Amino acid sequence: MNRRAVLAGASGAGLAALSPFAGIALAAPSETMQIDPRARLIDQFGRPFAAAAMLGKPTMLYFGYRLCPEACPTTLAAWSAWIRALGPNANRLNFIFVSIDPTRDTPKLLKQYLSDFDPHIVGLTGDPAEVDRLVKAFHVHVKKRTYRSGDYELDHTTFTLLLDRTGRYVETIDYDAPNDQALSQIRYLLSRPG
């Protein structure tokens, strides 16, 4: 089994063991793990998106990319199922997919990719430095693997980050979490006062 398969299938605890970067995002909430409201990105419709727009509602945040072979489409399909299960409560959350491959993930291509999933999901791309600002804010692990052909894939953290209304990290939903567990975590997030 290759490293990508291990990363994609591992739980959050397993990721911590595999990568010194991935485990950081499992630490207790802290000042260093929150939305940087200065980050400026572009949504899948080509509109400017300030990270500060995520504040005020709890957020489900995932870092991935359009050409990801397994973890990203699997996660977005799970999100779509959770959104359906939440019903009207889904409107009380932000669902944010940040591309870690902004060079290839243009707004137009991101829009096409996300059209296969629930329309609540907002895709973000933009200047690599601005994407990196959010990646660093949550200590997300991203590692580029380049092939002889010049093509590349990105190994990356595969869990969903749950943030409170102030943009601070609360906990993660593991990549392989059962639906009932994930929904319980999301409902807990919605019930929090902060």
Q: Which domains does the chain have, with CATH numbers?
A: 3-191 (3.40.30.10)
State residue 28 phi and psi, 5-degree precision. -60, 150
Distance from C-alpha of 148 to C-alpha of 194, rounded to nearest angstrom: 49
Tokens 């299960």, residue?
Answer: 85
Which tops the pLDDT comparison, 193 or 178?
Answer: 178
Identify the helix (H) or strand (E) that includes residue 143: strand 142-146
Number of Cβ within 10 Å of residue 16's Cβ equals 17
Average pLDDT (169-188) is: 95
Distance from C-alpha of 79 to C-alpha of 42, rounded to nearest angstrom: 21
CB 52 within 8 A of CB 65: no
Least confident range from 7-11, 114-118, 145-149, 161-165: namely: 7-11
Distance from C-alpha of 169 to C-alpha of 76, rounded to nearest angstrom: 20
Residue in 50, 52, 83, 56 with CA at minimum distance from that of residue 160: 83
